[in-house]
Amino acid sequence: MGTPGVRRLIRNGKVTDPSSPSLATTAAGITFQNPIVLAAGTAAYGREIANVVALDRLGGLVTKAVSVEVRPGAPAPRVADFGDGMINAVGLANPGMDVVKRDELPWLAANVQRARVMVNVVGRVLEDFARVVETLDDAPGFQAFELNVSCPNTRAGGLEFGADRDTLTALVSQARARTKRPLFVKLSPTLVNIGEVAKCAADAGADGITVVNTIPGLVIDTETRRPAVGFGSGGVSGPGLRPVGVLATYRVRTAVSLPILGVGGVTSADDALQYLLAGASIVGIGTAALADPRQPERIVDGLRHWCAAHGVARISDIIGTVEWPS
């Protein structure tokens, strides 16, 4: 007789006990021990949060931006809480690709063993992305690149790289030619047809899609009558972004077969499950981790408990299984 209260499932001829479900997922050939990763910018390069987050309990992390040159970033204040979420204008501050290669990636190689690492890449002009990829490609400590095509192309007057199909195709193709590592392309929630843009990225050589980036917004301090962040406008994140990100995930899933990193507004295991059901293979945690660095670990535990309670032996089995109304 089986253990009372525990459903036993037969998978590939083997009896599986869902009280010990597998949280492992695979995306772009990379196996993640669980689907929870820290979103770009929230974990810096890992060492900054290593004393408060057990990085190797998570599926992975995406580093903060890496550009060709040193970027000082936007003026302070860079982050503001507005009650329903957070607005930030960090300005992609980073020490530049050479310093990251020399100092940060070796630290990750030495100190992060089980969590998978993606390097977030940004640029001012199209060619910058390929330069960063080529420079970092032979470095240790990471498994994939994430190309942030939501940032402004200064050569095109501030138009996002991902908003123009020809530019996006050239950007991804150039990066693809310089690495065999998986390339994830991070798209903006403001794109009119995000599924078609994802298909464009896939055709150019992308191995995965990240959706979504923050959504542009403005928060005004009514006492000073000035914007809450030093740059003026900023990127809005937090729970209100979640339905936008989940819908974008579903639309990308119906357009391409590439794995998806779903990001935006995840604060609980239930939030992460929505992304997985919509089609994401891995799920990014951002604002919630800044508010409480231990929350990602609790979300991992919550996913395990949900799988056990619902008789799910492998969390990968639920990816993309949302039942759309007929």
Instruction: Please write the tens of the pLDDT for every residue from 148-194.
Output: 999 877 787 778 999 999 999 999 999 999 999 999 999 999 999 99
Is residue 209 a part of any domain in this protein? yes
Q: What is the arithmetic mean of pLDDT over 63-89?
A: 94
Cβ–Cβ under 8 Å, residues 53 and 292: no
HEC string of 116-150 equals EEEEEECCCCHHHHHHHHHHHCCCCCCCEEEEECC
Percent of the chain surpassing pLDDT 90: 88
Is residue 292 a part of any domain in this protein? yes
Domain limits at 261? Answer: 10-318
Q: Which runs of consecutive H residues, i.e. helices, occur in the chain?
A: 97-99, 105-111, 126-136, 165-176, 194-203, 242-255, 269-278, 287-291, 295-309
Cβ neighbours for 260, distance < 8 A, ≥ 6 positions apart: 27, 208, 209, 210, 211, 249, 252, 253, 279, 280, 281, 282
The closest of 93, 213, 92, 219 to 163, measured between CA atoms, is 213
Report the distance separating Cα 121 and Cα 53, nearest Å.
23
Is residue 109 a part of any domain in this protein? yes
Confidence of residue 201 (pLDDT cuts 50, 70, 90): very high
Is residue 326 a part of any domain in this protein? no
* Residues 207-249 pLDDT 10s: 999 999 999 999 999 999 999 999 999 999 999 999 999 999 9
Does the pLDDT at position 113 exceed 50? Answer: yes
| Residue-level pLDDT at 18 | 45
Domain at 27, CATH number = 3.20.20.70
Cβ–Cβ under 8 Å, residues 132 and 75: no
Ramachandran class of 237: left when φ > 0, alpha when ψ lies in -120 to 50, beta otherwise:
beta
Is residue 103 a part of any domain in this protein? yes
The verdict on whether 307 is a catalytic residue reads no
The closest of 91, 19, 46, 75 to 313, measured between CA atoms, is 19
Is residue 4 a part of any domain in this protein? no
| Residue-level pLDDT at 9 | 40
pTM of the model: 0.92
Is residue 100 a part of any domain in this protein? yes
| Whole-number average pLDDT of the chain | 93
> For the chain, what is the domain count?
1
The one catalytic residue among 28, 40, 151, 256: 151
